[in-house]
A = this chain, B = another copy of it.
């Protein structure tokens, strides 16, 4: 192990250069003009996998951009890790807001600036270079490893679920590892153990066949916008608690252990409010800020429209009014069940003067990994050995739908060991990746293989 870390330290400059080389490839999955770059990138990854000693390296076609796969399965009786990442990147517009060209990587201080540096090429290279260090110094890995890097994450992983289903046997594993999330703060490793789910619906109200003049009809008919605001105002009480009957039935409360861990994270409400230009924050009474964001469900109106939106005044009673609403869910809420409860509650509030139509748009389950899960604990030990700091236990307020897909099909816990930083500008100009995190990330994955190797299969 000492030799492996020595190898990492001696080869770090080369590792950085190799990362820079792959960051020069503009593998933008969303833009058809970059189809050749996608193939170039996939080919470079396949070559790299072969070079570091992975077996069966191959480019597997999908109906979209291909998946690059390889495996190393020579550790009998040891657990198997399925390491997922993506080699496609976001578009670069507005390109004139970049301080340097997005595909001409530049190092400034500790940061490597390039599109894809944090999201996700820098993070998949952490795994490749950890494998290289193990195999170059010890000739073996202490675990079985499968690498699956897709090329469509930035366009919604549109073909990945089918791919996983079709290749479920090939992808079978004990743990799924994803490095594509940010740490909470610079210098402190983080592990993300929970994600929120989602239920998204649209509510359409119709009061009359056509728009009406508010002078000729006002006072006689119910206005569908008035009805809509009356209905939607009954979704939460003044304390921010959601009023849909049965809404909280399946919410897993956070444990005392989680509460202690969350309360260790620094969060300054005043600074945060200032950073987003909010006069004040607002959330469900009785919970800390980060609990509200990560471990409590929400109800938000994402869009509303009806009647006249132009300049000036038009005295119309519109025929229709519409709203898009969504609820962020937490484990173990079921999005279909929540959608049904929302529908039933809203239907009970529709006045007799309105026709309503409620569309369920889409949904996803929340996800949470047990903090006592041995794989997660192995990750914690590895991160703490490398970074020399206690791990931040994080959740994500949003959803990463592919996590739940992996968990359900592979039937394995998903460990989100991310090495980005909050100011990494993923999806924005001046995307950057911390070279300290790149180095410590590789070191932590070297330890992680060792820690996982100590677990029973």
Copies of this polypeptide in the complex? 2
* Interface assignment of A257: CB less than 8 Å from any CB of chain B: no
Residues of B within 8 A of A215 (CB): 196, 198, 328, 396-399
Shortest A40–chain B CB gap in Å is: 31
Q: Is A109 an interface residue (CB 8 A)?
A: no
Is there contact, CB below 8 Å, between A301 and B229?
yes
CB atoms of B308 and A223 under 8 A apart: no
- Cβ of A300 and Cβ of B223 under 8 Å apart? yes
A313 at the B interface (CB under 8 A): yes
* Contact yes or no, A216 B397, CB < 8 A: yes
In the assembled complex, the Cα of A314 lies from the Cα of B322 at a distance in Å of 15
Does A150 make an interface contact (CB < 8 A)? Answer: no
Nearest Cβ in chain B — how far from A348, in angstroms? Answer: 14
Task: Name A300's contact: one of B214, B280, B296 (CB within 8 Å).
Answer: B214
**Contact-size category for A:** 35 or more
Determine the residue in chain B with the shortest Cβ distance to A298: B218
B284 contacts A216, C-beta separation under 8 Å: no
Q: Judge whether A278 is part of the interface by a CB distance below 8 angstroms.
A: yes
Interface centre among A209, A233, A294, A314 (most CB of B within 10 A): A233
User: Which residues on A are within 8 Å of B, measured CB to CB?
Assistant: 196, 198, 200, 207-210, 212-223, 225-226, 228-230, 232-236, 272, 276-284, 289, 292-294, 296, 298-309, 312-318, 321-324, 326, 328, 351-355, 361-362, 396-399
11 further A-B contacts with Cβ under 8 Å, apart from A215-B328, A302-B314, are A200-B313, A215-B398, A221-B276, A223-B301, A226-B299, A230-B233, A301-B307, A302-B307, A302-B313, A313-B326, A315-B326
20 contacts between A and B (CB under 8 A): A196-B215, A198-B315, A210-B277, A214-B300, A215-B328, A218-B293, A221-B276, A221-B283, A223-B300, A225-B300, A301-B307, A302-B318, A303-B308, A303-B316, A304-B304, A305-B305, A305-B306, A305-B309, A313-B324, A313-B362
